[in-house]
Amino acid sequence: DAGVIQSPRHEVTEMGQEVTLRCKPISGHNSLFWYRQTMMRGLELLIYFNNNVPIDDSGMPEDRFSAKMPNASFSTLKIQPSEPRDSAVYFCASRRRGQTNEKLFFGSGTQLSVL
Amino acid sequence: KQEVTQIPAALSVPEGENLVLNCSFTDSAIYNLQWFRQDPGKGLTSLLLIQSSQREQTSGRLNASLDKSSGRSTLYIAASQPGDSATYLCAVPTGGGNKLTFGTGTQLKVEL
């Protein structure tokens, strides 16, 4: 199993530009989570999906952030327009749906720098 | 609101030493608790998941304990090695069990 795959690994962009982060969850996992990690706030849950449906997006900081999951094997997190304070590592994670006692598997993250 | 705290924030020990990492949580009504490891520039790897009905869970040199009533968990690492150097985070489910709330982590360095 290839694990959770995220792309790109690194993204450097200028303020105001659109940024799209991508995630492929583990096959058979139908819960998908987007987290953001910063030194100041640690790991924060932004949004999660069950069976491609967004369940809780209360962690999405602003309307500039949006996430989609068009099918079971792909999700995107978009920031438009990006700002320097969005600089962070963004992680995608997946788990079998409804299994709160299952382990959560993380991707390697996307290091985002907004200049 | 569930709050998860880890102490110490950083720890440096000589190789071979046994050590304990601590995790505290404010709401004892949890389903389970997970311990993760994060290497620099990498994602998180789940090490152990201890169910609310369990008191201990072991994997190799790692042993996690859970005391729900006191809101505490410990991760015991036996005979530490330089390869154990990483940040260790604990996490508990919140929001009906679907979300994980993470602690701030303990950065461990095992020196030769």
CB contact under 8 A, B43 and A45: no
| Chain B residues within an 8 Å CB radius of A100 | 31-32, 93, 97-98
pLDDT in tens, B21-71: 999 999 888 889 999 999 988 889 999 999 888 999 999 999 999 999 999
pLDDT tens figures, A54-70: 998 989 988 999 999 99
Pick from A36, A100, A23: which is nearest to B34 by CA? Answer: A100
Give B56's contacts (C-beta < 8 A, 6+ positions apart).
Answer: B50, B63, B64, B65, B66
| Residue A83, pLDDT above cutoff 90 | yes
Per-residue pLDDT band for A100 (boundaries 50, 70, 90) equals low
Is A43 in contact with B42 (Cβ distance < 8 A)? no
For chains A and B, count residue pairs whose Cβ atoms are closer than 8 Å.
52
Q: How many CB atoms lie within 10 A of CB A79?
A: 22
B93 and A100 in contact by Cβ < 8 A? yes
User: Above 80 in pLDDT, residue B106?
Assistant: yes
Q: Which chain B residues in 51-90 lie under 8 Å from chain A, judged by CB atoms?
A: 51, 89
pLDDT at A1: 62
**How many Å apart are CA A109 and CA A26, to the nearest integer?**
15
